[in-house]
Structure 1
Amino acid sequence: MSTTALLLVLAAAVCHASWNVVAHGVSRIGTPFLWWGAVASAVLWLPVVPFTGGWGGSLVGLAVGATASGVLHVVYMTVLQRGYAVGSLSTVYATARGTGPAVSAALAVALLGERLSPLAVVGIAVVVVGVVATGLVDRAGAAARPAATAPGEPRRRGLDPSIAWGLLTGLAIASYTIWDAHAIRTWQLSPVSFMVGVTLVEVVFYSATLGRRRRELLAVVRAHGAKVLAFGVLSPLSYILVLVAIQSAPVALVAPARETSVVMVAVFGALVLREGSLRGRLVTSGVVLGGIALLAL
């Protein structure tokens, strides 16, 4: 991967980690916050379109690509928010970001015809192992919460909801990553206009699912206006940078390289939210960085 593409992806990781921290803080609000986030994203980025390639090569391609991507992003955001509401930030985030690049790389080879060197395959594997370890390091030796059982019945272990929702989020990440790469490359679309199209589709979907919660919108923006603005800037920016990178670099390499964001979120979770061992997370985060170094060779 070129130095330019790597720098774009690293910058995207900083933005991505930042908005995930913001989203975790308001995860229990759900759809009203997501609606405001999508509206803020569209309003803030629409004026940038004329200065970043306009609407791109094909309006039909933009409409088809953005609509399909918008649906996939709605699924992703809904699953992610649910995971944050019932699980720990670091475990949900790390499990999702470990599953996503592994599946994305496999699909990029199978569906997009990308080819990977043996060193790149090793780098992807190291990143995925490090990311998953970051999410699971605090579970070593800890028992999962047992399900209710009758007296005398053996206690059964259940799957940590943080991991379950993280895996589902990872599959959603892989789905929109592969589709978006296909759309951007096939129709020669501008990343900014594509992202604006996606956010407009999200606004429509969230509006349709608000129901009675519409009455909460004013209270949400009054209480969390700054977070809405941060989300509106950082969430699209993080993905716009990724879309620019995949115009010149293989998706199979870009997707794992994004996972430097896991290092930032894991350390934040340990330092600020007091989630688990800082030392263990630093060790596993170092593994992630080692894998990304291999991808950069």
Structure 2
Amino acid sequence: MNSLAIILVLFSALLHASWNFFIRGSKDPELSNSVIHIFRGFISLPIIFVYFLISEIPDLIGWIFIIGTSIIHILYFIFLGKSYKHGELSFVYPIARGLGIGLIPILGVTILNEEINFLGLISIFSIFVGVLLVGGNKKSNIFLVFQSIQGRQFLKSRAFVYSLLTGLTVSAYSVWDKQGVQYVDPLFYMSSMCLGSVVAGIGVYKYNYSHVSIKKILRENFLRNLLGALFSFLSYVLILSALQISQVSLIAPMREIGVVIGAMFGWFFLREKLEKMRVIGIILIFFGTIIIVGLV
């Protein structure tokens, strides 16, 4: 993993936690999520137009990856919006992102033939445990999730189920996109995928918010949603660029430094509690990240 990839991932994590904060801080997270991804489509249109003027269009394999990632991301954004509708930022974010930490390295090794040394495994495990601990507070402690699983009550928690589905789609698109950017420029890849997310945003609006005026939706929290769209767009372009030059098995876990940023945002701005176990989790995530940086 080279130094450029590290810089790209760190900036991406900051942007990713920021736009998740914008969603959670809104009055209606699901609606805000939909508007943000509609705005992302508008951002991507001029980029696609310029790309067609100055560069060659992707071949058939490239378009297969673009269509595939669009479908996976549509599912991801639907599940993410539902997760934040039913759960706190500090509960949803660690589960949704933490699941990927466990699955992505496994998929990277088995499907992409990537190699992870002993220090790499330690860093991944440290970040994984840290993410789970950061998700803890008195009302939504991550360990209560495991207790509910033992009692077979977890399916009754919509926040947990949607967070779990979000985590599965994170794993899927991470491995898929690692391959996709080998055939398509990251900026065009992201822009094309964003057009697909517009479909999801409009679909959620039509299904749940057709009674609400479009003008009212765009007028309320316009700047928040626009910044959320821009941050979301740039965040994943940076990750795609990092995936071109490094292993997804290490990129994905290191990206979870955003969990720390997200927890700090929740604590400072939304007054969500930051207790001892969560502080330990933050330390573990930093520890794991430092190990990955040391693998450069």
Fold conserved between structures, TM > 0.5? yes
Which of 197, 202, 207 is 1:202 aligned to?
197
Distance in 1 between residues matched to 2:53 and 2:285, nearest whole Å? 34
| Residues 140-174 of structure 1 deviation map (CA, whole Å, 9 limit, x = unaligned) | 69978xx9xxxxxxxx7843544333222111100
Alignment pair present for 1:192 and 2:191: no
Secondary structure at the counterpart of residue 80 of structure 2: helix
Q: Which of these two proteins has the greater Rg computed from alpha carbons? A: 1
Distance in 1 between residues matched to 2:143 and 2:66, nearest whole Å? 43
Alignment pair present for 1:164 and 2:158: no
Instruction: Give 1:153's aligned residue.
Output: none
How many equivalent pairs are there?
285
Opposite residue 224 of structure 2, the aligned amino acid is: K
| Residues 87-113 of structure 1 deviation map (CA, whole Å, 9 limit, x = unaligned) | 111111011111112111111111111
Which of 155, 171, 176 is 1:174 aligned to?
171
Alignment pair present for 1:74 and 2:74: yes
- In structure 2, the CA distance between the partners of 1:169 and 1:140, relative to structure 1 (3 Å rule), is closer
- In structure 2, the CA distance between the partners of 1:280 and 1:193, relative to structure 1 (3 Å rule), is same
Structure 1 segment 4-23 matched on structure 2, within 5 A: 4-23=4-23
Distance in 2 between residues matched to 1:102 and 1:229, nearest whole Å? 32
Instruction: Give 1:218's aligned residue.
Output: 215
Distance in 1 between residues matched to 2:142 and 2:290, nearest whole Å? 31
| Residues 24-73 of structure 1 deviation map (CA, whole Å, 9 limit, x = unaligned) | 1237353x544432232132244345479966662433432222111111
Distance in 2 between residues matched to 1:91 and 1:280, nearest whole Å? 14
Q: Is the 8 A contact 1:54 1:193 kept in 2?
A: no
Distance in 2 between residues matched to 1:43 and 1:236, nearest whole Å? 11
Alignment pair present for 1:41 and 2:40: yes
- In structure 2, the CA distance between the partners of 1:251 and 1:55, relative to structure 1 (3 Å rule), is farther
Alignment pair present for 1:265 and 2:256: no
Listed as ranges, the gaps of 5+ residues in structure 2 are none
Q: Percent identity?
A: 27
Structure 1 segment 238-257 matched on structure 2, within 5 A: 238-257=235-254
Alignment RMSD? 2.8
- In structure 2, the CA distance between the partners of 1:108 and 1:90, relative to structure 1 (3 Å rule), is same
Structure 1 segment 109-128 matched on structure 2, within 5 A: 109-128=109-128
Q: Is the 8 A contact 2:136 2:277 kept in 1?
A: no
Opposite residue 246 of structure 1, the aligned amino acid is: L
* TM-score normalised by structure 2 residue count: 0.86
Per the TM alignment, residue 269 of structure 1 is displaced from its structure 2 partner at its CA by: 1.7
Range with greater deviation from structure 2 (277-286 or 73-82): 277-286
Stretches of 4+ moved more than 6 A in 1? 141-144
Opposite residue 274 of structure 1, the aligned amino acid is: R
Distance in 2 between residues matched to 1:61 and 1:218, nearest whole Å? 40
* TM-score normalised by structure 1 residue count: 0.86
Distance in 2 between residues matched to 1:238 and 1:201, nearest whole Å? 17
Instruction: Give 1:64's aligned residue.
Output: 64
Q: Is the 8 A contact 1:12 1:258 kept in 2?
A: yes
Per the TM alignment, residue 282 of structure 1 is displaced from its structure 2 partner at its CA by: 2.6
Distance in 1 between residues matched to 2:38 and 2:132, nearest whole Å? 33
Distance in 2 between residues matched to 1:112 and 1:42, nearest whole Å? 30
Opposite residue 276 of structure 1, the aligned amino acid is: K
Instruction: Give 2:133's aligned residue.
Output: 133
| Residues 198-257 of structure 1 deviation map (CA, whole Å, 9 limit, x = unaligned) | 111121343345436345322111112112211220001111000000101000000001
